[in-house]
Structure 1
């Protein structure tokens, strides 16, 4: 069976890519986010610090929600990487 072609992803020619990752996300390791961020030229990384895990968008974090909403609705990315404190998750209900 032939090997799959190796593709080098650089992000060259793309608009800013917004990436969101929690430092303590067990599903998507932060180290992997940092590696992908370095590989994608012009990307912006929003790092959720101080707790939390997967699924931080639209889960009661005004810092994260504001950045992601601006990107999705207006195509506006932050000028540089941003850190948002995790904050408590809302109670289920």
Structure 2
């Protein structure tokens, strides 16, 4: 997996302008990340969450790594579907424990 980005590192292209993401003017944004995701480590999700004012971070602690929705975790499923179907986001950040732990 690490070999693919290495190809782009030497690609002859101009440097892209740096974009500052702040989330100003966005409606509440739901962010979902597994604490075990190798593609987007939880530290990167927390960084993006801090950059997007008004976002809510849902941390999935069980049920594998990448691709939490749709999946068997009722906490993740109900939170995401409430957002998608009714525009409802949690009032704060949320941790969805492993379904086996409950």
TM-score class normalised by the smaller sequence: 0.7 to 0.9
In structure 2, what is the equivalent of residue 19 of structure 1? 31
Cα shift at 1:2: 4.6
TM-score normalised by L of structure 2: 0.79
TM-score (norm 1): 0.86
Between the two proteins, the alignment pairs up a number of residues equal to 88
Which 4+ stretches in 1 moved above 4 angstroms? none
1:71 equivalent in structure 2: 83
Larger Rg: 2
Superposition pairs of residues 42-57 of structure 1, within 5 angstroms: 42-50=54-62, 52-57=64-69
Report the 3-state secondary structure (helix = DSSP H, G, I; strand = E; otherwise coil) of the residue aligned with 1:68. Answer: helix
Tell me: higher relative CO, structure 1 or 2? Use CA pairs within 8 A at least 6 residues apart. Answer: 1
1:21-55 per-residue CA deviation (whole Å, 9 max, x = no partner) reads 01111121111000000000000000012462111
Higher helix share: 2
Seen in structure 2, the aligned counterparts of structure 1 residues 86 and 55 have a Cα distance that, compared at 3 Å, is farther
Corresponding residue of 2:8: none
